[in-house]
Amino acid sequence: MTKSTTEAVQITTLPNGIRVVTESVPYVQSASVGLWVGVGSRDEDEPTRGISHFIEHMMFKGTKNRTAHSIADEIESKGGSLNAFTDKEATAYQTRVLAEHVGLSMDILTDMMRHSLFDAEEMEREKRVVLEEIKMYEDSPEDRVHEVFEQTLFPAHPIGKSIIGSSKTVSSITRDDIVGYIENRYRPDRIVISAAGNLEHDEVVKITQDMMGDLSGIAPVRKMRTPKASGKSKQLRKRDIEQVHFVLGTSGYSKMEKQKYALSILNNVLGGNMSSRLFQEIREKRGLAYSIGSYSRSYQDGGMFAVYGGTSPGTYEQVLELTRKEFSSVRELGLTSDELAKAKTQVRGAVVLGLESMNARMNRYGESLLSYGRIIPITEVLALYDAVDHAAIAEVAAQVLDESKMTLSAIGAFPRSKATDAAAD
């Protein structure tokens, strides 16, 4: 068993490889506890697309020791909450509880992971739930367009694939698929117990050792390759909606590339908030959209940058033109010194203010250990943002805002001549 300490954060690696990371914050009366597993949609095979997300759902459907109702009730009756999420590279099961219930949180989380029944009737019932979730996204163009964008941007890379899967793949998942996937992927080297709040590190370590110390095995090494942006476009015609929802963007930077910090600053200026260029120009000045903004995402071997907007069919082309005009302006002129300074201050504020939430701290530690194998100190993160200068912005703008590399995805009431792919009307 190995132990290390960074700032107020303590990390212990159990003999079997499970890592426990905690931060003791004695002035709060609560704690957030998460069981993180380094497995997500990018690790799936095509025939079982969506299985990571489906397993997350099934973990709440009963164990050898608890019914589905008991799993929720034992936490909620103590004033706490229980939740989970699946993304492309990780699955996390999380609780927020009063400090005296950390042990209960650990017991329930480990029970879910180790003793879930995956009952046949529950599986069929939950498949219907997930199929309704898929339909919900398909009926929500403001959500669906992001998935279309990712699939169009990176059609040959796993980070371009859907997290939730399709109706066909979800319907075909069997209990044997689930058991095999867990036995193969939910291994100690992929598991992190992360906690922050009024708790004792050694206590969390002891509970983890008692409940999970007998786990063994190593998960398959994740295949890594840099995704290549397609530069293609896809516009889906849908008659029964009032707006065109679009995403315009291209590849960005991986979690391992320092350029991601400059891109974050650039994103802040372009469309990251209400004072950004796109929001002010397109919404405030011209009234062409209610929703307009940008975002960047980073994964272990690649990333993306995109602008999302929703506007009327008659103003769609104008909004695209204005967006591209801002891209061109940044490529040619860069940011002003005031914009750069303000963006650094805003990003710093977001980072620091986020630390006031125990849940945010717990999430940061779990994600950081899985992605980097260490907890990156906040001082290091802030220094990397502070080091971003005009030259770094120019480099990133030249690479990311290159019009020839852009992918466009849109869903709306296009004339048939403008839709490159027909959607169900």
| pLDDT per residue as tens digits for the range 146-156 | 999 999 999 99
Residue 51 lies in a domain: yes
How far is the C-alpha of 27 from the C-alpha of 163, rounded, in Å? 38
Q: Looking at the structure, do residues 264 and 205 belong to the same domain, yes or no? A: no
In this structure, are 243 and 184 located in the same domain? no
Q: What is the DSSP letter of 20?
A: E
Same domain, 208 and 357: no
Contact indicator for 269, 343 with CB cutoff of 8 Å: yes
What is the spatial distance between Cα 159 and Cα 142, in angstroms, rounded to a whole number?
Answer: 20
Phi/psi region, residue 50 (left: phi>0; alpha: psi -120 to 50; beta: rest), is: left
Average pLDDT over residues 308-327: 97
Give the domain CATH number at 271.
3.30.830.10
Looking at the 3D structure of the chain, how many domains does it have? 2
- Is 221 within a domain? no
Which whole number is the average pLDDT over 116-142? Answer: 96
In a domain, 218, yes or no: no
Task: Band the pLDDT of 399: cuts 50, 70, 90.
Answer: very high
In a domain, 23, yes or no: yes
Pair 52, 163: CB distance under 8 Å: yes
Domain shared by 52 and 123, yes or no? yes
Task: Tell me: do 182 and 264 sit in the same domain.
Answer: no
From the candidates 23, 44, 56, 126, give the one annotated as an active-site residue.
56
The torsion of the CA quartet 148, 150, 156, 159, rounded to 10 degrees, works out to -130
Alpha-carbon torsion (215, 220, 224, 228), positive or negative: negative
Q: Is residue 56 annotated as part of the catalytic site, yes or no?
A: yes
Q: For the beta carbon of residue 19, count every other beta carbon within 10 angstroms.
A: 23
Q: Mark whether 170 and 281 lie in a shared domain.
A: no
| Residue corresponding to tokens 């909450």 | 81
Residue range(s) defining the domain that contains residue 345: 233-422
Q: Is residue 108 part of a domain?
A: yes
pLDDT-derived band of residue 424, with 50, 70 and 90 as boundaries?
A: very low
SS3 of 276, please?
coil
Confidence bin at 354 (pLDDT 50/70/90)? confident
From CA 30, how far away is CA 97, in angstroms rounded? 6
Q: Do both 205 and 325 map to the same domain?
A: no
Rounded CA separation 81/186 (Å):
23
The residue among 181, 212, 243 that closes a domain is 212
User: Where is pLDDT greater, at 417 or 375?
Assistant: 375
Average pLDDT, the chain: 95
pLDDT of residue 237: 84
Q: Which of 145, 178, 212 is the last residue of a domain?
A: 212
204 and 294 in a single domain? The answer is no
Rg (CA), the chain: 23
Extract the tokens encoding 61.
């459907």
Q: Is residue 227 part of a domain?
A: no
pTM to 2 decimals? 0.93
Residue 239 has pLDDT above 90, yes or no: no
Q: Which of 212, 242, 259 is the last residue of a domain?
A: 212
Mean pLDDT, range 216-238, rounded to an integer: 92
Asked whether the predicted pLDDT for residue 240 surpasses 90, the reply is no
17: in domain = yes
Asked if residue 245 and residue 104 are part of one domain, the reply reads no
Biggest alpha carbon distance in the chain? 65
Res. 235: pLDDT tops 90: no
Tell me, what's the pLDDT at 413? 86
Contacts of 331 by beta carbon, 8 Å cutoff, 6+ apart = 397, 398, 401, 402
**Least confident range of 5-19, 41-55, 72-86, 205-219:** 5-19
Q: Can you count the helices (H) and strands (E) in the chain?
A: 15, 13
In a domain, 349, yes or no: yes
Percentage above 70 pLDDT, the chain:
96
Asked if residue 408 and residue 378 are part of one domain, the reply reads: yes
